[in-house]
Structure 1
Amino acid sequence: MNLLENLNAAIAYLEEHLGDPLDWEALARKAGCSSFQLQRMFPYLTGMTLPEYVRRRRMTRAAADLLAGDARVAEVALRYGYESPTAFNRAFKAVHGVAPSAARHGGAQLATYPRLTFTLSVKGAEPMDYRIIEQPAFRVVGVPSGNGDWNVEDAGEKATAYWAELGPRIHEILALMDGSEPAGLLGVQLCRDGAFDCYMACVATDAPCPPAMAERVVPAATYAVFECVGPMPQAMNELWHRILTEWLPASGFEWATGSDVERYLTPGMTAPDSRSEVWLPVRPAR
């Protein structure tokens, strides 16, 4: 199946298990990608995180059940995975603006969030130029961040804050450049066993790793490389959105498990003519 068919299969699976805990691995298998990729992709495609979509769908169905009058509030709460009435009440009010008891008695204004369906929107207004490269494995040294409690779904926002906090340490990282390829300042989303490991501002280098930094090896991969022109982070975020919503569904490629690379080619990252690249690991669609 292609990407859109896989995503719709994941949504169908989700609808059948709305009362169960969110099973990232099962959903990722249905979507034909890793859990890391699904978490990254979903907000770009839908404008919301997957847990938020699940919450909205659960509360849509819960409101319908309460209006039907076939169950008490506590029973509906359990039906959709809430053992605590307080947690269910809070989630319900966040979606509908009223308490479950008010919805049960009728007359309250409620919100409905329909089931998602993924379709291909052919825009074609602007071409998306790319090239395919075979990149051998390379060693990077830099400052890692985002491990532990970094939520992959808001990785773009986290990365923006991370770069701002990095400040003058960028010069310490750049000082490690020794002609190794790929040249330039890199931002790498590193994975381990298909799961998010960390985000790292780094350079490819054979230089020794300083005590206050870390080193990783980015595995060999086939990459689709996209050029980006414009100020960071807006231009990069817009490019990622186009890659995942326009290019990937129609490309004949799949997002392969691996490390995503952002390559910054000019020193003034916030300048209007700032140049950078996105390297997306890919494989032929199956």
Structure 2
Amino acid sequence: MNWLEDLNAAMRYIDAHLTEDLSAATVARVAGCSPFQLERMFPYLAGTTLAEYVRRRKMSQAAIDLREGGDRVIDVALRYGYDSPTAFSRAFRAVHGVAPSVARRPGAVLALYPRLVFTLSVQGGNAMEYRIVESSEFRVVGIQADNGPWSVECAGEKATEFWASVGPRVHDVLACMDGSEPAGLLGVQFCEKGAFDGYMCAVATGAPCPEGMTERVVPAATYAVFSCEGPMPDAMDSLWHRILTEWLPSSGYTWETHADVERYLTPGMTAPDSKSEVWLPVRPAEG
């Protein structure tokens, strides 16, 4: 199966198992990727998170069950994995704008979110320049994000919040540089056993880890490296969108579940001429 077929198989699987616990790990197995990758790419491909898509599909089907069947609201709630009628009602209102009991009334206005079908679309033909870099493992030292629980789906928002909180401490991180590569200020999103495992503002270095900072090792990997110009976070978000929707499906490479690295090359990250890079771990696609 190819990349699009795998994703569409996962969407069909979701629809066939709406009354079951649809974890990211389960759906990712059908899609042929890791939960980290699926949750990371899904918002770029679908415009919403995987969890929100599953919720919308469940509530779409729940509305049909309520409108056409004679089941009690509590029965439908349990069918779609809600032990509490209150939680079910909250989820139902978020999708349809009305309480579940209203779904049975004649003329009730409900929302239907159809099953997603991914297709190959032809873009504007703009070239995406990249280079392949073979990197041995490297040690990083810096500040580990601790601003509440993270998930892959909220990583962009959380990263923006985290960088704002780092403030002047970034100079303490930069002071740890000793010429190790990749040089510059790094944003590293770690992946462990296919799942999100933390984010750091860091530098590659062999210097001792100062008190109050964290050290970790970024594993050896082959990276596809893309250049970015423009203010953070918008320019970086736009580049990630192009990488995952345009470059990756047609590149001949598969996204590896190692650490993703963003490299910031100019001091003013929000300046119009800010320069940065995305280092995407990859391996040649099979077949």
Taking structure 2 as the reference length, the TM-score comes to 0.96
The number of residue pairs the alignment matches comes to 286
Please identify, of 106-115 and 21-30, the stretch whose mean Cα deviation from structure 2 is larger: 21-30
Secondary structure, counterpart of 2:115 in structure 1: coil
Within-5 A mapping of 1:1-286: 1-146=1-146, 149-286=149-286
> Quick one: distance in 2 between partners of 1:233 and 1:91?
30
Quote the offset at 1:87 in angstroms. Answer: 1.3
Say if 1:186 and 1:131 are closer, same or farther in 2 by CA, change over 3 A: same
Quote the offset at 1:17 in angstroms. Answer: 1.3
Using the aligned pairs only, state the percent identity: 70
Judge conservation of contact 2:138–2:219 (CA < 8 Å) in 1: yes
Q: Structure 2 stretches of 5 or more lacking a match?
A: none
Judge conservation of contact 1:147–1:198 (CA < 8 Å) in 2: no
Judge conservation of contact 1:147–1:197 (CA < 8 Å) in 2: no
Q: Which amino acid aligns with 2:99?
A: A
Judge conservation of contact 2:147–2:158 (CA < 8 Å) in 1: no
> Quick one: distance in 2 between partners of 1:214 and 1:236?
25
RMSD: 1.3
Per-residue CA distance 1:218-240 (angstroms, 9 max, x = gap): 00001110000111111111101
> Quick one: distance in 1 between partners of 2:69 and 2:197?
47
> Quick one: distance in 1 between partners of 2:99 and 2:240?
38
> Quick one: distance in 1 between partners of 2:216 and 2:204?
10
Per-residue CA distance 1:68-103 (angstroms, 9 max, x = gap): 124222222122111211111111111111111111
Quote the offset at 1:147 in angstroms. Answer: 8.0
Quote the offset at 1:124 in angstroms. Answer: 3.1
Secondary structure, counterpart of 2:107 in structure 1: coil
> Quick one: distance in 1 between partners of 2:70 and 2:284?
49
Please identify, of 175-184 and 75-84, the stretch whose mean Cα deviation from structure 2 is larger: 75-84
Say if 1:146 and 1:212 are closer, same or farther in 2 by CA, change over 3 A: closer
Taking structure 1 as the reference length, the TM-score comes to 0.96
Judge conservation of contact 1:11–1:116 (CA < 8 Å) in 2: yes
